[in-house]
Amino acid sequence: MLVYLAGPVDGVQRKEALDWREGVSQYLNQASISTFSPAHAFSVVYFGGNSPLNNATARAVTEINRYAISQSSVILAYLPKDSITIGTIREIEYAISIGKPVVVLVERTDTPFLSLYDTIQVSDWDEAVGAVIEALLTGPFHTSTT
């Protein structure tokens, strides 16, 4: 079993990108659940602008992350209230498009997240880890459209 840890990497301090992933990984690893952290997988240097080198790097990172998502049983996504998380939204959408269950920890309470109707939304870390474990135990997550 593998859980992909989606969340801000760009636009946040490196420590902020790593800390929550390390805590969740330790907890899940104790339950014999492996995790994949894109924040730990590689370090990317951005040279500014829309250069061919930046575009090639972005394509490579996207392909690696998509492969990791496709190999994961569940995706745990973190949407903090004070960060823009465009990459995380893309990871969520990709995971949903290939039928993966997605647990989303949403910190903002002032905005309805109707666009996340097809995810499992939670509001704290304990609930997030519990929802991941439940999704792993119960198999594929399906939403009702009726």
In a domain, 66, yes or no: yes
Residue 97 structural domain: 2-138
How many beta carbons lie within 10 A of that of residue 18, not counting itself? 16
Instruction: Report the pLDDT value the prediction gives residue 146, as an integer from 0 to 100.
Output: 31
Instruction: Report the pLDDT value the prediction gives residue 13, as an integer from 0 to 100.
Output: 81
Instruction: Report the pLDDT value the prediction gives residue 98, as an integer from 0 to 100.
Output: 96
In a domain, 128, yes or no: yes
Coil, strand, or helix at residue 76? strand
Q: How many domains does the structure of the chain reveal?
A: 1
DSSP E strands, the chain: 2-6, 34-36, 74-79, 102-106, 120-122
Q: CA-CA distance, 101 to 64, in Å (whole number)?
A: 19
In a domain, 30, yes or no: yes
In a domain, 146, yes or no: no
pTM score of the predicted model:
0.86
Question: Residue 47 belongs to a domain with what CATH number?
Answer: 3.40.50.450
DSSP per residue, 41-66 = H------SSS-HHHHHHHHHHHHHHH
143 vs 146: which has the higher pLDDT? 143
In a domain, 69, yes or no: yes
Instruction: Report the pLDDT value the prediction gives residue 112, as an integer from 0 to 100.
Output: 64
pLDDT in tens, 35-83: 999 888 877 666 777 778 778 888 888 999 999 999 999 999 999 888 7
